[in-house]
């Protein structure tokens, strides 16, 4: 049975879901199980995002922390955080997220932690890391929506997982029904992403 690790570029997935008119409140454990499939073993999910600095963005940081706390309760999920900074022009930027995700993909491949990496991102910057993972003898599957399949990413991945098909066929598990505490976490998630 192949061992699978799922690497999720959190903000990238969030905006891809919104763009494709999908719910954005996701059960990341069920989502990862759906990506791995019944015939493979999910080892761990790594979820990457950036945190607002509480001194400059206190409201967003507080709401975002509530969302991250809900992720901490997700089985077999490790939360990996970079930071959000504001550049001179006043634009917010993530720092340390892509590098950490790329480094983890290669590190865990080199440590033989998994057989298959499922990478959930549309960011072409991950192509070199995906190539290194393949050179280490691992398989790389890219999970993206059909409207965001770049030629470079398709060329680098061993296999493409159609996110539209995955979330539609597992919607009842991936998008859980509303409950008050989950609605609060979802509202916090919306605020955390600046929506």
| pLDDT level of residue 182 (50, 70, 90 thresholds) | very low
- What value does the mean pLDDT take over residues 187-194? 51
Q: What is the pLDDT of residue 107?
A: 98
Over 90: is that where the pLDDT of 179 sits?
A: no
Report the C-alpha gap between 117 and 2 in whole angstroms.
10
Over 70: is that where the pLDDT of 47 sits?
A: yes
Closest CA to 51 of 175, 188, 174, 180: 188
Domain membership of residue 120 as a residue range: 3-192
CATH assignment of the domain containing 39: 3.40.50.1010
> Which residues have CB under 8 Å from 59's CB, separation 6+?
191
Contact 34, 166 (CB under 8 A): yes
Q: How many CB atoms lie within 10 A of CB 139?
A: 17
Q: Give the model confidence (pLDDT) of 6-29 as tens digits.
A: 999 999 999 999 999 999 999 999
Over 80: is that where the pLDDT of 56 sits?
A: no
Cα-based distances in Å from 33 to 17, 18, 23, 56: 18, 21, 18, 37
Report the C-alpha gap between 94 and 34 in whole angstroms.
28
Q: Nearest-5° angle of CA 189, CA 191, CA 193? A: 70
- What value does the mean pLDDT take over residues 48-70? 80
> How big, in percent rounded to 5, are the helix, strand and coil portions of the chain?
50, 25, 30
**Domain count within the chain:** 1
Closest CA to 128 of 103, 159, 95: 103
Q: Give the model confidence (pLDDT) of 107-136 as tens digits.
A: 999 999 999 999 999 999 999 999 999 999
Q: Which two tokens stand for residue 40?
A: 């493979």
CA dihedral 132→134→139→143, nearest 10 degrees, is 50
């Amino acid at each position: 049975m192949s061992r699978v690790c799922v690497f999720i570029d959190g903000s990238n997935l969030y905006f891809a879901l919104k763009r494709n008119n999908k719910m954005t409140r996701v059960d990341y454990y069920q989502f990862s199980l759906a990506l791995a499939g019944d015939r493979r073993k999910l080892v761990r999910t790594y979820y990457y995002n950036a945190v607002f600095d509480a001194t400059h963005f206190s409201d967003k940081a507080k709401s975002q922390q509530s969302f991250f706390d809900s992720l901490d309760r997700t089985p077999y999920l490790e939360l990996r955080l970079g930071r959000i900074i504001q550049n001179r022009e006043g634009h917010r930027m993530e720092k340390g997220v892509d590098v950490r995700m790329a480094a983890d993909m290669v590190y865990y491949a080199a440590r033989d932690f998994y057989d298959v990496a499922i990478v959930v991102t549309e960011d072409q910057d991950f192509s070199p890391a995906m190539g290194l993972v393949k050179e280490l003898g691992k398989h790389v599957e890219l999970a993206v929506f059909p409207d965001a399949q770049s030629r470079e990413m398709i060329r680098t991945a061993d296999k493409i997982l159609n996110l539209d098909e995955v979330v539609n066929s597992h919607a009842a598990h991936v998008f859980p029904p509303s409950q008050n505490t989950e609605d609060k976490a979802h509202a916090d998630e919306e605020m955390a992403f600046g929506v």
